[in-house]
Chain A
Amino acid sequence: EVQLVESGGGLVKPGGSLRLSCAASGFTFSSHSMNWVRQAPGKGLEWVSSISPGSDYIYYADSMKGRFTISRDNAKNSLYLQMNSLRAEDTAVYYCARKYYYDGSGCYDYWGQGTLVTVSS
């Protein structure tokens, strides 16, 4: 059974840092692109960042560039998101999600339960 379990969320002051983790199991982690998606309270889904299976392709949403760093450790079946210079508007539930490709088109077929990040003084 595919499982994605996020951890590392919590309360942090503006300007602070936090590192999120996503532990994967039940599939060959090293074969899939992985992604972070967030959802601010009462708002819609917002893509944060993506990383290819071998970490050679990395993408960020513009508002996260230079502040967030995505990484993965295929030996540990783990995905990470290092978040620096956090702002109040980064307050959200952060989900990790697996990318699945079908006939050239992708989708996010498995999602974790999410971890809440609250940025407040």
Chain B
Amino acid sequence: DIQLTQSPSFLSASVGDRVTITCRASQGISSYLAWYQQKPGKAPKLLIYAASTLQSGVPSRFSGSGSGTEFTLTISSLQSEDFATYYCQQPDSYPITFGQGTRLDIK
């Protein structure tokens, strides 16, 4: 199974900050990685797929990069609506796996 480890698990930041979340895979997964945002009581929302492709309608302050075993999600300038939990996912090798999540809180 491919394990995904996100860091940090918790992050406290302010509006306007630039934040980066890392997702490390236990083995190489090329660019087969997606990122999701989830707010309390809501379904996850796709942000980025194929490691760096922004989903339609997602603000350009979100960006993704990486390949192989190390990936990053960057929010260039945090907005109030960005405070949520973020998950990475490897969507193509069974069993499908998610990272444990990164909770982004307001400082």
**Chain A residues at the B interface, C-beta cutoff of 8 Å:** 35, 37, 44-47, 50, 59, 61-62, 95, 99-100, 102-109, 111-114
9 closest A-B pairs by CB: A107-B49, A111-B43, A47-B96, A107-B34, A106-B91, A105-B50, A45-B98, A44-B101, A59-B94
**Could you show 10 A-B contacts with beta carbons less than 8 Å apart?**
A45-B44, A50-B96, A59-B94, A59-B95, A95-B44, A100-B49, A105-B50, A107-B46, A108-B89, A111-B45
B97 within 8 A of A: yes
Bound CA–CA A107/B55 (angstroms):
10
B-side residues, CB < 8 A to A, are: 30-34, 36, 38, 43-46, 49-51, 53, 55, 87, 89, 91-92, 94-101
The one of B43, B55, B87, B100 in contact with A113, judged by C-beta atoms closer than 8 angstroms, is B43
Interface of B is mostly: loop
Assembled-state Cα–Cα distance A103/B50 (Å):
8
Residues of chain B lying within 8 A (CB to CB) of residue A35 = 96
Given known A47-B95, A50-B94, A59-B94, contact A109–B100 (CB-CB < 8 A):
no
Q: How many Å from the CB of B42 to the closest CB on chain A?
A: 8
Q: Hey, which chain A residues are within 8 Å of B31, CB to CB?
A: 105
Query: B residues within 8 A CB of A112?
Result: 43
Could you say which residues of chain A place their CB within 8 Å of the CB of B36? Answer: 45, 108
The one of B32, B91, B99 in contact with A108, judged by C-beta atoms closer than 8 angstroms, is: B91
Chain A residue nearest in CB terms to B99: A44
Measured in the bound complex, the distance between the Cα atoms of B45 and A95 in whole Å is 12
